[in-house]
Structure 1
């Protein structure tokens, strides 16, 4: 065997001489015979496809990290159904567009084969290198439409997500009953209620590394907190028979309308949808029963529910004068 030396390799060729010496003295022409051959040393091609990498679904991947030396031609092949663009026998860094099957599988192997100057079939004729491209699905996040909730009530969120796991965050001081659930309840905090609105953010994180644009998706919705109505009919009270009663102690807040009702047969005067302090005149059955319940119903802004408060009015019969006797 002949092992080419460093200078042989640099030169690319080396002459090897075969000398056969016979029995004749050196003074004779037939003392020896020589023959030579030229050995050409082909530089081995080297292929490097580049490191394994990641892209987002829908993106085109540039094979910019691929390198080759001592090549005459290059060839890219795929284990999937994607396509190479800007590819030719001398194109070392084409683009790759994943196909449907690549995306469904989530990965595809891309192989670079480099052909050198050595004869076909020889050990150094070609060199191959492979890299694996991982294709990440793009996460989506929808927090839902802006909405309203009544102060003091929980709000049921209606987020949706795909291709990832979600987490809720708030710009306020409220709390989530299950922040990782798209349909968690949100309980507004004191500062949320004072501000009147709070932004709730739904973030869905996929499988892509943080360097890719498809690592996560966010969506937000604004929750408006409607002040809850309050109602107070006033303290229980007492009047004399046949006197009207002024409901002057009644109060309400955050109301759109108020409505008074009685369990008896009396009547309200000076009453309307905004009349908080009407007069009540007991009816005959009220007087006979001795008491009557008066209830105020306060209606607030949607989605707040109406609220009621009741006071009991006691009716004292007027004294009946008896006969006057004279001595």
Structure 2
């Protein structure tokens, strides 16, 4: 008897969630992650609509309720910090810019890992370097030097996906640049600010800054701006910090220095070909001091306030999940 095998690249949100359901349907799942452990940090993730239904079906809503961010609403502020407009979380039946259930990406990743670690094999500190597809599966070469064969390989490794590049070609074929950059990072909690409201400040020139609550010790800060023809290497942290310093020089309110990654997004949420497929996740980005920033798609000055995680995996024709001889 042989059980069909699946390799998932990426242990953020999409990867572990997919591992849960594949295991439920009889597959043997391995998750490989290039980071040494579950990555911390990242933007808050809204749990609403079908996402809430899925989390309830997985039995993880109690953990999400325990760890969620207690955010009461969103407000614009002027340079002096005075509120000019507000949107409470209760507005639009809890389906506005702030959801009833919001949780930090890193906290949700830990919950999903705990829910799947006993049923899926996790390999941290490694990544896929080569794929060779044949009639009997996909031969996978890892950076560690090991080579193994799987029935299906799935990339859930973010915007700059290594699996997508190996299976389908350069990312330029799949990335549509939105003309904006965003930096998202951890900072000390601001004792003089309301600890339960996401505050946003608009700055002339297509720039904005925001601070949202996290816990009694830390807060999440965000800087966003129009690219206006500027380009920066998403892996060059020094260049990112220099660009931020240039763009936000002289900006008021509470604009701190940090690193950033450019705002991009895939032109489609999933891609498949034969036994290889790719699906996005809620990505964690480059380091910003001792924390991590998150790259997210942005299309307008205030769009960074919206949580973005919607990811699905398209159907792929391959052997049925039942064990075979």
TM-score, normalised on structure 2? Answer: 0.22
Structure with bigger strand share is 1
TM-score, normalised on structure 1? Answer: 0.22
Larger radius of gyration: 1
